[in-house]
Structure 1
């Protein structure tokens, strides 16, 4: 079924894209939210991801497994661009004369998230890493991709995924040992994508978390 879906996506079948959205929109949103820490920006990233997927549909190989790694790779690029735009926007605001203070509703919104402590730990861990390490950790640990799928998502060799994940593991391990960071939660996406190799995925998760316990 997934191979047929790939061919239909490549052909620009609108119904195939609806199926793709229904199956992977939640995973795309979760990945974007972890990278950006902002629910509104994550919602924008979902829309932009599927618009970009439509634009790039002719690059889809009709043969292969799940399209989830491809979508998450697009999301990673979009999140990177949105963060750059946000930094430019914040910089422009900082240069403007200060006006009347505007109430901050962030705490009110955050209070609606069921597990605030878990979210804070995830965001603190990701903030301690460089962007390439952050993306690999988010893909391999929380999105549940194996090394090969993460490499496909990011357009890098498998060895690069392993080395980035190893660097992330060492950094997080040092922070936990120094008492500056709590161990990471081990939760993943509600459903794993099709065609994943459980052994590789579990190795990736262990390598990112074994020194943070």
Structure 2
């Protein structure tokens, strides 16, 4: 009887390796409870055990040409893979929890000077929306020249543009922003765009 079960499993495994999905599903059904119980014993968490179960069978499919059959069954390979996967998950969880424990839980209190600086550094919401309407190169140009106060020459170098192209683009984007903002806070982006 046991020999027949081994033979049936080997038959399923041969078909699964050849890409037969129903055969792979039958192998899953055959071993899923045993693998889940083993993972649950190691992790003592139902959700983690379910994750390990899925990962183990994904690995079985992915590495199907490397799986070693023992005593006519893939179960030993599945159990070893379950142990390794569970241990990896435990290590990752410990690292994650350790990292979380090192992060301050409450934001630090800002000084009055820091709060004032943040308020003075805020970008007008209309201007922010207008900036988002620009293409990435123009956004970069505007950010560097207007917000970060780089020269057009420096901004052109960063954006891999010729200086003449950067000047033309900057002039056009200022006009586009003025039109989009409809005159609102025109001084927000009045800069010395002709600086070198």
Shorter-chain TM-score range: 0.3 to 0.5
Larger radius of gyration: 2
Higher relative contact order (Cα pairs below 8 Å, separated by 6+ residues): 1
